[in-house]
Amino acid sequence: MTKEKKQGKLIVFSAPSGSGKTTIVRHLLDIEDLNLEFSISATSRDKRGTEIDGKDYYFLSAKEFKTKIKNNEFLEWEEVYRDNFYGTLKTEVERIWAEGKNVIFDIDVSGGLRIKRKFPEETLAVFVKPPSIDELKIRLKKRKTENEDKINMRVAKASAELATAPLFDTIIVNDNLESALKEAEEKVSKFINS
């Protein structure tokens, strides 16, 4: 992917699970003036529930994913657990740029920072911070999607992720959703129009 092909900007949202980044990203996608399109990640994990290939994720086998890694087809990727990969295909960003749109990512911390390093000028990297670890745990429990062990795992991971916040261009503390949405809108709009 060469810089000459660049048409839009890259907006990265990263945060510990339960911080509200997905809610913020969905809100921004509804604002027409921002001209955003969501970057669909690729994964080698199995589909869950009603997930749809090409809408929720691009579902690949671990073997297909590894082949694409070998062929340098990813902008960024990570092996989260053994043979459980997540990544951003270069073709996904190129597809969105070809439509003349800006790309928005809802992505883990390390993937977000990799994109920022590859495209420092074109990327706005936003870290969404929960008001506290205790509040994060409450939010994860309210979801009722995971057992206590999984929640504790996510909370432990969140501490490490919070330490990376200063590496991002900007931090939004999501202690009040309305304020966080407004702040995200302002920051993204200013970056896109700069």
In the three-class reduction of DSSP (H, G, I as helix; E, B as strand; rest coil), residue 170 is classed as: strand
Contact residues for 29 (Cβ-Cβ < 8 A; gap 6+): 36, 37, 38, 104
**Interatomic CA distance for residues 136 and 123, integer angstroms:** 27
**Backbone φ, ψ for residue 92 (5° rounding):** -70, -45
Q: Would you say 170 is a known binding-site residue?
A: no
Q: Would you say 142 is a known binding-site residue?
A: no
Q: Would you say 110 is a known binding-site residue?
A: no
Inter-residue contact 172 to 127 (CB < 8 Å): yes
Q: Would you say 39 is a known binding-site residue?
A: no
Q: Would you say 19 is a known binding-site residue?
A: yes
Q: Would you say 120 is a known binding-site residue?
A: no
Contact residues for 159 (Cβ-Cβ < 8 A; gap 6+): 133
Q: Would you say 16 is a known binding-site residue?
A: yes
Tokens of 193: 């129009």
Q: Would you say 157 is a known binding-site residue?
A: no
Binding residues for ATP, as ranges, are 15-22
Binding residues, as ranges, are 15-22
